[in-house]
Amino acid sequence: MMKPLALVGVVLIVLGLAGLALGHFSFTTQKKVIDVGPVTASVAEEHSIAIPDIAGVAAVIAGTIMVVMGQRRGA
């Protein structure tokens, strides 16, 4: 069984690598444009959020440190 600190470290490493590989993620929201009685109209808006490379690198480094500390702590 993996120690909690090491498990959090592995999650950080995976998220950091995903951030480096993808670079950004996007999502769509629905916004009401017209709402007059029974008539409604909506527009789909796409939003994109960039993930800085330094954040991905920092997550991988922090995750590696946490995995090492979690393994040493239990030994």
The tens digit of pLDDT for each residue in 44-61 reads 999 999 999 999 999 999
Three-state DSSP class for residue 16 = helix
At residue 74, the pLDDT reads: 58
Q: Which residues contact 41 (CB under 8 A, 6 or more apart)?
A: 32, 33, 34
Mean pLDDT estimate for the chain: 91
The tens digit of pLDDT for each residue in 15-34 reads 999 999 999 989 999 998 88
Confidence of residue 35 (pLDDT cuts 50, 70, 90): confident
CB-CB contact of 51 with 23 (8 Å): yes
The strand pairing partners of 27, in sequence order, are 47
> CA-CA distance, 58 to 41, in Å (whole number)?
43
What predicted TM-score, i.e. pTM, was given to this entire model?
A: 0.70
